[in-house]
């Protein structure tokens, strides 16, 4: 399985904050199922829109070579920093552990963004550690 980094989305802002305010906006870590049974993990404040960018071949090099088939999961975090940190940690896991983490954690953040601490705690559960 190949999981690639998202080096910055086309048309996305690079800051955590909305223009002119000090409030951080939520960012998501998302999972794409791609051609050839591969997966891609990225971050974005608008994952559904980012999926469409990947689908049209204007996203990351990995998704241009391995076309996305589905936006499989979205996990929201309180800000870009937390999402980027979780993305890096997820990419260090074996594929079964990554998929298990998304399966368990996506529903928990559907209505309220998670903190990085909560996301990290979910990585250390006995179930996920045994999959790596």
- Give pLDDT tens digits for 83-105: 999 999 999 999 999 999 998 88
Distance between CA 127 and CA 108 in Å, rounded? 17
Q: Where are the domains of the chain?
A: 27-129
Q: How many residues does the chain have?
A: 132
Q: With the CA atoms of 105, 117, 123 and 86 taken in that order, what torsion angle do they form, in degrees rounded to the nearest 10?
A: 80
Low-confidence ranges of the chain (pLDDT < 50): 1-21, 126, 128-132
* pLDDT for the residue 104: 86
CA gap 10, 90 in Å, rounded: 22
Please give the CATH architecture assigned to the domain spanning 27-129: 3-Layer(aba) Sandwich (3.40)
The answer to whether the CB of 39 falls within 8 A of the CB of 98 is yes
pLDDT at 19: 45
Between the CA of residue 104 and those of 66, 73, 98, 122, 128, what are the distances in Å? Answer: 25, 10, 10, 9, 10
Helix ranges, 28-125 (H): 47-55, 61-65, 80-91, 95-105, 116-123
């Amino acid at each position: 399985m190949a999981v690639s980094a998202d080096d910055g989305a086309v048309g996305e802002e690079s800051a955590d904050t909305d223009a002119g305010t000090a409030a951080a906006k939520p960012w998501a870590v998302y999972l794409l199922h791609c051609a050839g049974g591969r997966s891609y993990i990225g971050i974005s404040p608008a994952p559904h829109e980012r999926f469409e960018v990947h689908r049209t071949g204007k996203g990351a090099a990995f998704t241009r070579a391995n076309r996305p088939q589905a936006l499989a999961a979205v996990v929201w975090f309180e800000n870009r920093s937390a999402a980027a940190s979780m993305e890096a940690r997820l990419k260090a896991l074996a594929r079964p552990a990554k998929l298990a983490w998304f399966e368990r954690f996506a529903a928990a953040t559907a209505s309220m963004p998670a903190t990085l601490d909560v996301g990290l705690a979910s990585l250390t559960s006995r179930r996920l550690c045994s999959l790596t």
